[in-house]
Structure 1
Amino acid sequence: MFDHECAFLIANDRADLARKIEWTSQEHGDGAGYDIRSYAPDGRERLIEVKATRGGPTTDFFLTRTEREVSLERPDAWRLYRLHDLPKTPGLFQLKPPLEVAVNLSAETWRARF
């Protein structure tokens, strides 16, 4: 998706912004609430969380608490890029907050503390 974002910005005459894209999860590790910091052609920041599955477009996927929190705190910037049917015939669509409009969210794990 990093290369996709770069190509998108270059195709929109924004090579300057393409050079600023950050693969956050690779450079700083998971935990930021998104994988890629990119930009729209008009310069607005985009925070992209990528979710990929081998199954079809309606296959369940997991969202972390931090990812959900960032989606709520930055709904204007945060996007979920949903890759599906990997690796055979990949498809892609985007979800934007509020996520509950498109998907049902349910807690699947619990933290146990002492």
Structure 2
Amino acid sequence: FKRKRIIHRDVYKQLREERAKQNEETGRIAEKFVYRKEVEQLKAVGREQLAEAVNWVAETEDGHGFDIKSYFPDGKEKLIEVKGSKLTHQDFPFFLSEQERMVAEEEKESYVITLVESVGTQHMKIVKEIQNPLGKDDLHLKPTQYSCKIRVD
């Protein structure tokens, strides 16, 4: 067990806010990239109407458990959660919210996690699409927080 370094509360708060801003911007760039790719792919297979119906829901709303509502070429609904990183990864770490996990569990084959690396660079690319992520053996979920409640008399 190794203790983390001590940092002044105000400095820590500022660093957290800056990191949150950077992460939000990285996410938006990755989402826009995936949105455009979805539209292009559907147009490329002659599904113009489906391409026009692709909706980047996270651009205006939050809390759906996915970022983009798209379609598979056969017309079935495709709910995409985009995870982006400025880096390239051998093992791509990302966080999954409880809402995202619940929607993935409920939607199964319609739910896709799309991993984007090198976000914001000329080398930005989709490295993996994971359809029905909770049905995969190679996706390892690890709790990082616990919700606690105690009755105080």
| Structure-1-length-normalised TM-score | 0.87
Would you say 1:80 and 2:116 are equivalent positions?
Answer: no
CA contact (8 A) 1:6 1:18 kept: yes
Q: Secondary structure at the match of 1:43?
A: coil
143, 146, 151: which one pairs with 1:107?
Answer: 143
Secondary structure of the 1:25 match is helix
Q: Deviation of residue 42 (structure 1)?
A: 1.1
Q: In structure 2, what is the Cα distance between the partners aligned to 1:86 and 1:56?
A: 9
Counterpart residue number, 1:65: 98
> What do you get for the CA RMSD once the two structures are aligned?
1.8
SS at match of 1:6: helix
Identity fraction in percent: 29
- 1:96, 1:11 → 2: CA distance? 21
Correspondence for 1:26: 59
The reply on whether 1:96 has 2:128 as its aligned counterpart is no
Q: Which has the higher strand share?
A: 1
Alignment partner of 1:48 is 2:80: yes
> Do the aligned partners of 2:86 and 2:118 also contact (CA within 8 Å) in 1?
yes
- Indicate conservation of the 8 Å contact 2:112/2:133, yes or no: no
Higher relative helix content: 2
SS in structure 2 at match of 1:47: strand
Structure 1: segments with no counterpart, 5+ residues: none
Please give the secondary structure, in 1, of the residue aligned with 2:58: helix
Deviation at 1:59, TM superposition (A): 3.3
TM-score with structure 2 setting the length: 0.67
Aligned length: 113
**SS at the partner of 1:63?**
coil
CA distance in 1, matches of 2:100, 2:39: 23
